Amino acid sequence: MAQVIVNGNSIGGAGNPSKVWWWLSAICFAVFFLMLAIDDSPSAMEQYNECIENADGDWFEE
């Protein structure tokens, strides 16, 4: 399958490998940005702060 994509014969029989790679990369970026748009989880810093609050700072008190 990978060899077919490299030869440029996978998408609609197009004989231009660069066009195939452009489409593959565009689809990958579209899926990536779609996932970013859907993802509404808190940021890493918010998760860190919430974790520290839940721990009540026990680790940092001597």
Average pLDDT of 24-38? 90
SS3 56: coil
pLDDT value at residue 54:
80
pLDDT value at residue 30:
94
Separation of alpha carbons 29 and 34, rounded Å: 8
Side chain identity at 31, as an amino acid letter?
A: V
What whole-number percentage of the chain has pLDDT above 90?
Answer: 16
Calculated CA dihedral for residues 3, 7, 10, 12, nearest 10 degrees: -170
Separation of alpha carbons 28 and 6, rounded Å: 17
